[in-house]
Structure 1
Amino acid sequence: MSAARPTKTVAVLDYGFGNVRSAERALARVGADVEITRDYDKAMDADGLLVPGVGAFSACMQGLKSVRGDWIIGRRLSGGRPVMGICVGMQILFERGIEHGVETEGLDEWPGTVGPLRAPVVPHMGWNTVEAPADSRAFAGLDADARFYFVHSYAAHDWSLEVTNPAIRAPKVTWATHGERFVAAVENGALWATQFHPEKSGDAGAQLLTNWIETL
């Protein structure tokens, strides 16, 4: 009889701009040992770090820096330690965000700008399907018509990161459409992110979080 796999620990970064309790419950549901924290060492030591985000890009960046979240994310990724961003927690991973004409520097993990979503109805609020790569690990076990819950008025409209070194695995980018096509999720080595809220996406979101936990 094989030994049981150890429970994976996940730190949910509490910097004042995320649905931390919803994230905690969703992660616990899929078997993770979860702690909501803004403590540097606890966030660094966990198997996985989840970075939620709700509100304005600029306010989220200020809140993140107030708890040294920018350092935590950068240090974890430099060591290949898993990080997952959700909603604005994904948007701040890009180079910059523009809201109401105000430009704010992001974490610059990926090139590109997050800007207003050009659609007849904004915010994009509700359930939507996504276009995931066939070999996506994040969406493994999910049907093509699986639906996820979105709440946002801004998005990354383009993906410009090019990988020319054949030894480096190219990121997998998932798209969705609401008025226009936008980046819905990214798998980039140790860094995963979703524009939608997996913690509010029922069984489909639980499967995605399970897939992430299995990479830790």
Structure 2
Amino acid sequence: MKFYRLIFLLIVIIAGWNNASAQVTDEVKFPPKGKNDTIKVAGTNVGGEMIPWIPLHEVAIYGVRIFKSPAERAAYNRLRYNVMKVMPYALFAKRRYEQLERDIATTTNKREQKKLIKACDAEIKQMFNKEIKELTITQGKILTKLVDRELGRTTFDIVKQTKGGLTAFVYQSVARVVGHNLKSTYDPQEDKDIEAIIASSGFYR
């Protein structure tokens, strides 16, 4: 009885191996080429037939916003203009301070770290003297929010980390006089209009 079971098991194994070999050696059918088919694309074997495919970029679809009044439309357009004006500065600050953190991480020498911070401050100040000082109070407020959005830290925290608590306090005091708050944070729900503008702006494409 055991002998017949062994024979049956061997038959099953051999049949399974033959099927597997047949599947491996089966010829894969490729789609016919046209005279202009010169671009190589990826392909997936589906039941012995090679199906070509190409990855596509994500497509974001946005609804058309309906405004309750011309005044509401005008307010939104002003907000969009201001966001588009200051967003490049927030992205620049993000890239520059991320680079600063990477540079500081490469050395434990305090003097060298101070040099790196000073160089970063000089670059930021150069941009400030050329362009940012021309921003309106409203644009400045939006910028401080966007810095928090991009870096996950308020402008006050960044100044405190790089320049010390006393300098951060002085900067905050001056900012408050002209209507700014370096401790402003970004809330995607509270600032949903800004978030919608950024999402449809193309800054991250």
Query: Normalized against structure 2, the TM-score is what?
Result: 0.28
TM-score (normalised: structure 1) = 0.27
Q: Relative contact order (alpha carbons < 8 A, sep ≥ 6): 1 or 2 greater?
A: 1
Higher strand share: 1
Which structure has the highest helix share of the two? 2
